[in-house]
Amino acid sequence: MKIGIVCYPTFGGSGVVATELGLGLAQRGHQVHFITYKRPARLLVFHENIYFHEVSEVNYPLFEYTPYDTALTSKLVDVVKYEGLDLLHVHYAIPHAAVAYMAKKILIQEGKYIPVVTTLHGTDITLVGNDHSFAPVVEFSINKSDGITAVSHYLKDKTEEYFNIEKEIKVIYNFIDFSRFQKIDKDHFRKAIAPHGEKIMMHTSNFRKVKRVHDVIKVFDKVSRKIPAKLLLAGDGPERASAEELCRSLGTCGDIRFLGKQDAIEELLAISDLFILPSGNESFGLAALEAMACEVPVISSNIGGLPELNIHGETGYLSEVGDVEDMAANAIRLLSDPELLQKFRAGAKKRATEFDIDRIVPQYESYYEEVLAQSLHATG
């Protein structure tokens, strides 16, 4: 198949999933065209089946905001037509589902029907999409997609609760590439971070409010009062400054490393004993899956799609959002019992294999085939 992928190329779950999916599809012999404003980070290496089409900015003094949607629509029309694409797969509903609908309508006039699959990732429904300034367009364009997928049953249910959805939403979970995410030996690195054998806790996110980074620090503060420990924080975003302030006021800065944006997350996970994800909402929790694949158990909130991934008492523990006491108690229980920690490490890895890229990418492939067959049928 010739597949066009539209996504946000920057740090963030939906862009990572879209890029990894494109790479997986290319490895299976499909021709994949990424259409976005910047080359996604993991696409820097040449791959014979991968193409990149950059949507360039148009600067004109009249525009206070660059009309990205219009530029993307025109680029989609162009790429679909001249590259002969079979299907467009857009990630994150805003504005991609609406843009794809517009491109589809333009192409119909020119005698070409391009089926569109929209994947809902989370905040495009639960935070931004639900806002009344976007909601009518989100609902309309989701309904106009030929296929809709969501990354968890939770997200499917929420989408159906918030909007009047007329089509079946297919759940296809996030996935993991074990050739990258696996336990590797980084003992020298571990010694540099925790020279006295301290336990290492880790968190990674885009430091937005929804990630509750302050809870990460509060939990760590409680844990480090009982067990010698270090905390690695990878990522950056709006909550970073206040998180740094909080650790200063708690006096824990000496044991916390703010690492900023990091590419090689697997190297940090290689030396971590526990991953913490206390989010206020999380449609799936790709970061937790990455940790589990590297045999790192997860302390997370019991919200959104997280209980579909993290099994309480097996791969980690679930606590109610904001319950830092419970999260800290669970972390202390695991970190102070080497046998239990080892059992959870194995449990986390075993669970992660259920989300192996080789299991999930074929689900997208067969869904594309289904959507293509239906649209051929519909267009005669």
Name the minimum Å distance from CB 249 to ligand GMT: 27
- Cβ-based nearer residue to ligand GMT, 31 or 281: 281
Nearest-approach distance from CB 253 to ligand GMT, in angstroms = 25
Provide, rounded to whole angstroms, the least separation between the CB of residue 164 and ligand GMT: 22
CA distances from 143 to 91, 362, 363 (A): 15, 24, 21
Output the smallest distance, CB 279 to ligand GMT, in A. 6
Name the token pair of 349: 């890895």
Number of CB atoms found within 10 A of residue 289's CB: 23
Residue 235, φ and ψ in degrees, nearest 5: 120, 175
Quick one: 80 or 93, whose CB is closer to ligand GMT? 93
Interface residues with ligand GMT (CB under 6 A)? Answer: 12-14, 17, 92, 121-123, 151, 174, 206, 210, 281-286
Neighbouring-strand partners of residue 277: 300
Task: Output the smallest distance, CB 380 to ligand GMT, in A.
Answer: 35
78 vs 263, which CB is nearer to ligand GMT? 263
In the complex with ligand GMT, which residue's Cβ is closer, 19 or 123? 123
Q: Closest approach of Cβ 20 to ligand GMT, in Å?
A: 10
Query: Residue 255 or 282: which CB sits closer to ligand GMT?
Result: 282
Shortest Å distance, C-beta 53 to ligand GMT: 21
Nearer of residues 214 and 222 to ligand GMT, judged by Cβ: 214
Query: Whose Cβ is closer to ligand GMT: residue 115's or residue 285's?
Result: 285
Q: Which is nearer to ligand GMT, 80 or 284 (CB)?
A: 284
Q: Decide if 315 contacts 349 (C-beta within 8 A).
A: no
Q: How far is the CB of 87 from ligand GMT (least distance, A)?
A: 20
